[in-house]
Structure 1
Amino acid sequence: MGLIAAVTDPDIARHLLRDEGEVIVDEVRHHWVSFVVPVLVCLLAVALLASVPFLPLDWGWFPILLAGVVAAWGVYKVLVVHMDRFVVTNMRVYRVHGVFSQQLATVPLTRILDITVKKPLVGRVLGYGHFVFESAAQAQGLREIRYVGRPDQRDLSIQRVVQRSGVRGRPQVN
């Protein structure tokens, strides 16, 4: 794996417990709306470069330098969004994120007590929402997952996995 691939691929499969029979049920990437601000920042860098011919020759270096810094920050923010993955397996849910140093937060299905799906008005129109996990663990690194595309279907997917795993019994009918 080259340097570019190492920085741009979160390689979520390497965190699977294959010997235990763990398989990926769903890999959640961020909804496209989470890329809007970083892409606008990159476009700002292009606009700064476009201003160079209209400035005095002595000041031409400044927008070029500023455009480089703005573009680097915009590309970094795009990578932050791209590298943030939420994974549902048949045994647990986990989140891998980070560009230069990677972090992994895991919650076994047995510890998930509740999932709240928040859908703001814009999210309902564009098809995204935010997950908030309540778990038996006091401090967890997997509390909120933002900008999840198709949140209702993904919530049902997690509920199905939890139900099939036998963590929670069938509802009792009186």
Structure 2
Amino acid sequence: MTDSGAGGSGDTKDTEPLEPPSPRAPADSPVPGADTPTREFGFPPGAAGSAPATAASDIDGVRFDDGLNNGLSGGLLGGVRAPSVPDVPSPISARYLFPTEKYRGEWRRHWVHLMPWYVVGTLATFIMGLISGMLTKSGVDNTALSVTVLVWLLILGFVGWKILDWYMDRFILTNKRIMLIQGVITRSVAMMPLGRVTDMKYSQTPMGRMLNYGEFIIESAGQDQALRNVPHLPNPNELYLQMCEEMYEPEAVDEREAEPEEDLIPEGEPAPKSAGA
């Protein structure tokens, strides 16, 4: 077959008839509105696109509630982790618990409670060094210098005593009561049953929000209260929620404490072997 170009040239070209397009293969998914469910695709076992199985060693010891117990603190300084609550009472508080009550936790006061004594010790050291230098240059006898050093040591000893007193203090929560233990030689144990608590709140100053501490104010039905104001307690929001749950939902706390740890190893995976196996 010959054909002349559009410009009138005498060139000839051979042309072939075009083949009709092949029909489109039916789609896997049904048309909109059809009753046939969509087809689901899955990776075959061992395929390259399948999701990797979680190694048992990577999740060993991981619990779902780690983020609650050791999560970020509620203060303005994000990233400061809350101190973990011990599972068993310390020897300092164990002697004041009777066998039938359930231990929930104990807390020391926040380190900001010692800030005034840190300042006293630092100023005493600075002043002692200044006075000692002046006495040495003036050429006075060693008696005044000895008295200055002795006063400085007494102040540091008093500051150390306050640090020891802070370490021995405990705020204790059980399923029946709250306690505040104070003192090193002369001990003071204040107690209030949870059933008699009529009102409870905590307050935080701007510094308390930054450093995550607060003051608890606890009211009871009695007029003469042995435990009312407890300042400088760490993690006040978490402690407040824990105390409220202990007062209003004790069954939920007991049920959560009795739950075993959830098994995170997928079915069909072998259990991790111990180190001694």
Where on the TM-score scale, by shorter chain, does this alignment land: which range? 0.7 to 0.9
Q: Residue type of the partner of 2:110? A: H
Of 43, 58, 80, the residue aligned with 2:165 is 80
In structure 2, the partner of 1:12 is: 93
Amino acid in the other structure paired with 1:16: L
Match of 2:135 among 50, 55, 59: 55
**One-letter code aligned to 2:250:** S
Equivalent of 1:27, from 99, 106, 119? 106
Q: 1:89 to 1:102 in 2, by over 3 A?
A: same
Q: Match of 1:11, as an amino acid? A: I
Shift of 1:87: 0.6
Given the alignment of the two structures, is residue 124 of structure 1 paired with residue 220 of structure 2, yes or no?
Answer: no
Work out which of the residue numbers 121, 133, 145 in structure 2 matches 1:42: 121
CA gap of 1:164–1:107, structure 2 versus 1, over 3 A, is same
Q: Secondary structure at 2:246's aligned position in 1?
A: helix
Would the aligned equivalents of 2:92 and 2:168 in 1 still touch at CA under 8 Å?
no
Cα offset for 1:48?
4.4
Letter in 2 for 1:43: T
As a proportion of its length, which structure holds more strand?
Answer: 1
Q: Distance in 2 between matches of 1:11 and 1:88?
A: 14
Detail structure 1 runs of 4+ shifted over 6 Å in the superposition.
none
Contact 2:169–2:180 (Cα < 8 Å) also in 1: yes
Q: Does 1:159 align with 2:239?
A: no
Q: Does 1:105 align with 2:190?
A: yes
Counterpart amino acid of residue 129 in structure 2 = A
Q: Please report how far the alpha carbon of residue 136 of structure 1 lies from its aligned counterpart in structure 2 after TM superposition.
A: 1.3
User: What's the CA shift for 1:10?
Assistant: 7.5
Normalised by the length of structure 2, the TM-score is: 0.52
State the partner residue of 2:177.
92
Identity across the alignment (%): 30
**Is there any run of 5+ residues in structure 2 with no aligned partner, and where?**
1-89, 252-277
Matched, 1:67 2:152: yes
Question: Alpha-carbon deviation of 1:113?
Answer: 0.9
Deviations 1:40-84 (A, max 9, x none): 222234334534354235221122011022112211222232222
Q: Do the aligned residues in 2 keep the contact of 1:90 with 1:165 (CA within 8 Å)?
A: yes
- Where structure 1 has 5 or more consecutive residues not aligned to the other structure, the ranges are 1-8, 167-174
RMSD: 1.9
CA distance in structure 2 between the partners assigned to 1:150 and 1:66 by the alignment: 38
What amino acid is the match of 2:208? G
Matched letter for residue 119 of structure 2: L
Larger Rg: 1 or 2?
2
| Bigger share in helix | 1
Residue 170 of structure 1 corresponds to: none
